[in-house]
Amino acid sequence: MNRKITLLLVSVFTLALSTPSHAFWNLFKSSYTKTKYPIVLAHGMAGFDNLGPLDYWYQIPNQLRKDGAKVFVTQVSSFESSEVRGEQLLRQVEEILAITGAAKVNLIGHSHGAQSIRYVAGVIPHRIASATSVGGPNKGSPAADLLMQASGLPVIGSPATGVLTSVVDGFGWLIGFGAGEKLPQDSYAGLQSLTSAGAAAFNAKFPAGVPTSSCGEGAYSVNGVRYFSWSGTGAMTNLFDVSAYAMAGTGLAFVGKSDWRNDGLVGRCSSRLGKVIRDNYYMDHLDEVNQILGLVSIFEANPKSVFRQHANRLKKAGL
């Protein structure tokens, strides 16, 4: 046994001396997340690629890259309609395809980003390998419905809509400015897109992967594009996370609804698209992308692991 170990060590040492250092260490590098096609991440409403030290996809891109994936993080308007955001993402995807020379890309969209990737998959399906919705309001959100109703209330004799949208649009501009982008902002159009009626109108144009039943699965593959989804139904998942309290508050909009189990902003059934990986992770809406700063539940799979597992799933599927 000792002789075999000695021979093995000598062989490894000899290989190390005869191989360039980068190539040698690549022999031991994991390829767990090395998908055939690049992965493109699309953020949700009020999102960004990075804002100073804060990453929207906190630590997720690096976790994917570490084990072989090529990952691109995109930036669209923080607040805009699904179609406008989708067109912005389309242009970036076309740039990524040109830069990498890849035949296709794998799209992953969180929250409102789910509509963005579905738009792109609908416009250029021949260049898209897969589209994955993470906590996407694919059939709208009662929280958006409630906000839309509230926007019509009078504020000092004027509709609240004008006041609120001006403030929120300014906030969106600040997010974009901090992220190094100058993009148009229209929070009212964005809110409309996420209502039940707005989502239904979008689904009529881009139905691929959307379940036809109230809480079923959608088509797994449409026009050569594979569709997947996952989401959470957690509340107050980490008491040290200030955003958890906000998600618990917005989750009250689902009281009395048929799709009452939710992540704070999106109902379990609404989140479903194509093949449902899982729709009941103990995660709230921001936990799904490891926010804020990784303060998520210690009693559930870590979001970074969920993304890594999905990349491996895509790899195994030849995507």
Q: Which residues are catalytic?
A: 111, 263, 285
Tell me whether the omega of the peptide bond preceding residue 292 falls within 30 degrees of 0, making it cis: yes
What whole-number distance in Å separates Cα of residue 265 and Cα of residue 201?
A: 19
Half-sphere exposure of 76 toward its Cβ, with a 13 Å CA cutoff? 32
Is residue 226 helix, strand or coil? strand
Nearest to 136 by CA among 55, 210, 62: 210
Closest among 277, 281, 278, 249 to 265, alpha carbons compared:
249
Helix, strand, coil percent content, the chain, rounded in steps of 5: 45, 15, 40
Measure the CA–CA gap between 210 and 255, rounded to whole angstroms. 24
Strand ranges for 175-296 from DSSP E: 221-222, 225-232, 275-281
DSSP 238: -
What is the distance between the alpha carbons of residues 273 and 266, in angstroms, rounded to a whole number?
13
User: Beta strands of 9-127 (E only): which ranges?
Assistant: 39-42, 50-51, 54-55, 71-73, 105-110
